[in-house]
Amino acid sequence: MVSKEDLQFIVSILDSSDKKEIVKQFSYVFKEMMEEKIISKPWYYKMMKGYAPSDELILKACEVNGRLKEWVIKRAVDKANRVLKIVGSG
């Protein structure tokens, strides 16, 4: 089980392109969040046009959807493994 603090750190590792990919793959989660008034309509539509969500918004989305949380963790693990591979081959 990943603690809230650990998840905050994991989300901080993600770059803008990772965050945009989250919006593409999990747009339905953000739509639900908009419908439940967790996020505003203008912010939802900005994300659908390509704006990257904030770390805080991704953390809220992870609370709403376990699959998104798993995806975020997997992406961070993939990035960490890539760093280790690069450093190890140098």
Task: Kindly give the confidence (pLDDT) of every residue in the chain, 90 residues in length, as a single tens digit, with 9 standing for 90 and above.
Answer: 889 999 999 999 999 999 999 999 999 999 999 999 999 999 999 999 999 999 999 999 999 999 999 999 999 999 999 999 999 886
The neighbour count for residue 39, using CB atoms within 10 Å, is 20
The total number of structural domains that make up the chain: 1
What pLDDT sits at residue 25? 96
Global pTM exceeds 0.75: yes
State which residues form the domain around 30. 4-89
- For 39, what's the count of Cα atoms within 13 Å in the CB-facing half-sphere? 25
pLDDT, residue 90, reads: 62
Q: How many CB atoms within 10 Å of residue 53?
A: 23
Q: Are 36 and 83 spatial neighbours (Cβ–Cβ below 8 Å)? A: no
